Chains A and B, each alone.
Chain A
């Protein structure tokens, strides 16, 4: 493997022409290889559809049936050792896999592996893991947004998402656990791909972070968290559910034109960092013979909340950091109601599921132990000034910087945001007891 080890990553934005020059300079030893590489590089510039006889391994791999979700990782990204940090311990036959992915002629002495299929599996793993990191970079996101806009990842199967395009994601960043899933930004839920040919694609090759970093980077593709029915039809459960006290909230400083049933042609999210797309906000309302099923029936609707959006962005601020309406804390503060209100918090836990069980436990314990004293707080402690923009609510500061640029691909284990408002002192002893 005597390829151009000089790190090209810093010049990754150079046009292909300069690339080839660079290659010629650094690799004067091996003429054949350079020719081949030059080919590969050229192909990277167009897409795999270029009728070249020498297809690179990467474009071949991405064109396989079932591999439609992958984008082509540029070779210079793979060649940069920094981008591969830690991967060599995860991939068997590292060197051979690298040679295969980069289409390098293997060294003479490495021909001792009898079966090519072993190396192929390693190459797939290597490519997948690099892919997971690559799609979080600017170039990778760009490659994926092109595929997204063409609808290559498909559309949300949920009817009231109106065919919102989805993006691939994983449920864990560790390979070998679960297959690829599809994330819908409108309902912010994950779905199994409709075709079984994606059953062979590892979800870790896309990772847990990608869809969200993707929609943070392309805000115009992310639906906003509030929705107003364009015509005031009563089929929307929003009207019956959340209009009551919240609707009285005075309209914030300059958007009298935005609400009130007039369909404003340009959709505006008052939060400049929020999703800028008009969401598909309708929610399914079960009906029997045309009558809505009452929530008081045993079989009545129980899950409408999961797809509901408030009509106005201000309503989102009427909930404190642990998911309670501020006004509810006043009325329902007597003994039994308080206890009921506590239960929900414990049940948030199923969400995490994957690798942060410990943190979730912490929250749970925290609810159980330290849950009562904070309830005694007056609501003034929590309530953000009603005229303030959404982002200025005091207890939420840690989350207000939405994008965290941490090391590529490494999933940092960080405490769930729910616990952030608490004094750390309450939390410290708990993990020991939480080992249930």
Chain B
């Protein structure tokens, strides 16, 4: 009956491969099956148990009537999205999203001076049905709307407000440089060391991570950021240049503050 049967082994793989769902990663089944991880979701999703059964492929086809099926599909998507938002802020979920980030599955920054920096999905709120998903650029640290309307209609709550910032908190060596071309080899090597380091940390002592973090000094990275300067026949535009000077003064204050703290 279901479209996913036959080609796809499970509801999740069918869901992930359908058009427009490219931003989602696979939530591991044992994460979903652990009821602790789903705490509170039963109040968000109607037909919760049936939707959960559908996601985990435990729903027999003849269990539900045809007219319910459409509604159930909507609820199953909502449930999967909400579980997804929780999953991608776990260690394993972050690692999975990192793979997608390395492949630039979320697109690239439209800002010219970000030089096609890969983006990360983020929500503006954690409450479903409020705001669609946005894309966060780690280089200019700003938010962009997805280019395609297929992605523009995904609920932002399925990714949550926390995800990209937690990712860079956990993997500080992946914080993109503020200038120069995007170096994905660095990203991938950083990824492996990062995840290795994490695994080792959990298995053994905590030695590798402090070194990794200690190398990075992000206090003055903002000074390297490139800016576009509007010019008319080569002359800067007065009001914009004035605003830019003010913004750069704000920036320099922050840099001075941070350098004093030696971050």
How many of B's residues come within 8 Å of A, CB to CB?
Answer: 70
Q: Is B261 an interface residue (CB 8 A)?
A: yes
Interface residue B252 (Cβ < 8 Å from any Cβ of A): yes
Q: Which B residues are in CB contact (< 8 Å) with A319?
A: 242, 245-246, 249
Q: Which of A158, A242, A404 has the most CB of B within 10 A?
A: A158
Least CB distance from A335 to B in Å reads 14
Is the CB of B202 closer than 8 A to any CB of chain A? no
B140 lies within 8 A of chain A by Cβ: yes
- Contact residue among A190, A404, A410 (Cβ-Cβ distance under 8 Å from B113): A190
Kindly provide the distance from the CB of A386 to the nearest chain B CB, expressed in whole angstroms: 16
B181 CB to nearest chain A CB (Å)? 13
Q: Report how far A363 CA is from B37 CA in the complex, Å.
A: 57
Task: Type the 1/0 row for B140-153, where 1 means its CB is closer than 8 Å to any CB of A.
Answer: 11111101000000
The answer, among B233, B238, B242, B263, for a CB contact under 8 Å with A298, is: B263
Q: A299 CA to B112 CA in the complex, in Å?
A: 23
CB 8 Å contact bits of B224-263 with A (1 = contact, 0 = none): 1111111111111111111111111111111111110101
B111 to chain A, nearest CB (A): 6
A197: chain B residues within 8 A (beta carbon): none
Q: Does A192 have its Cβ within 8 Å of any Cβ on chain B?
A: yes
| Smallest beta-carbon distance B252→chain A, Å | 5
Report whether A295 and B258 are in contact in the complex, using a CB–CB cutoff of 8 Å.
Answer: yes
Please judge, given known A-B contacts A306-B227, A341-B256, A344-B223, whether A286 and B165 are in contact too, CB under 8 Å.
yes
By beta carbon, the residue of chain B nearest A210 is: B232
Chain A residues in 8 Å Cβ range of B259: 340
Asked if B175 is at the interface (CB within 8 A of a chain A CB), the reply is yes
Asked if A411 and B233 sit within 8 Å, CB to CB, the answer is yes
Task: Tell me whether B184 is interfacial, beta carbon within 8 Å.
Answer: no
- Cβ B142 vs Cβ A307 within 8 A: yes
Interface contact B230-A212, CB-CB below 8 Å: yes
Report which of A192, A340, A402 forms a contact with B255, defined as CB distance below 8 A. A340
User: Is A436 engaged at the interface, CB distance under 8 Å to the other chain?
Assistant: no
Which B residues are CB-close (under 8 A) to A404? 232-233, 235
- Shortest distance from the beta carbon of B217 to any chain A beta carbon, whole Å: 8
Instruction: Tell me the minimal C-beta distance from B241 to chain A in angstroms.
Output: 6
Contact (Cβ within 8 A) B263 A296: yes
A422 on interface, CB distance cutoff 8 Å: no
The residue of chain B having its C-beta at the shortest distance from the C-beta of A398 within the complex is B235
* A-contacting residues, B78-124, CB 8 Å: 110-113, 124
Bound Cα distance from A62 to B162, whole angstroms? 45
Decide: A225 near B224, CB < 8 A? Known: A302-B178, A412-B234: no
User: Is A113 in contact with chain B by the CB < 8 A criterion?
Assistant: no
- B222 contacts partner chain A, Cβ-Cβ < 8 Å: yes
Are A353 and B234 in contact, with the CB atoms below 8 A?
no
Q: Does residue A263 face the partner (Cβ distance < 8 Å to B)?
A: no
A177 interfacial contact with B, CB 8 Å: no
Asked if B20 is at the interface of the complex by the 8 Å CB criterion, the answer is no
Does B213 touch A at the CB level, under 8 Å?
yes
A128-168 residues at the B interface, CB under 8 angstroms: 157-160
Q: Ordered nearest first, which 7 A-B pairs have the shortest CB separation?
A: A225-B243, A350-B226, A305-B251, A303-B141, A299-B168, A159-B143, A323-B245
Q: A-contacting residues of B (Cβ < 8 Å)?
A: 110-113, 124, 134, 136, 140-145, 147, 161-162, 164-166, 168-169, 172, 175, 178-179, 213, 216, 218, 220-259, 261, 263
Where the two chains meet, the residues of A that have a C-beta atom closer than 8 Å to any C-beta of B are 157-160, 171, 181, 183, 188-192, 194, 208-209, 211-213, 216, 225, 241-242, 271, 273-275, 284, 286-290, 293, 295-310, 315-316, 318-325, 328, 332, 337, 340-341, 343-344, 347-348, 350-353, 356, 390, 396, 399-400, 402-404, 406, 410-414, 416-417
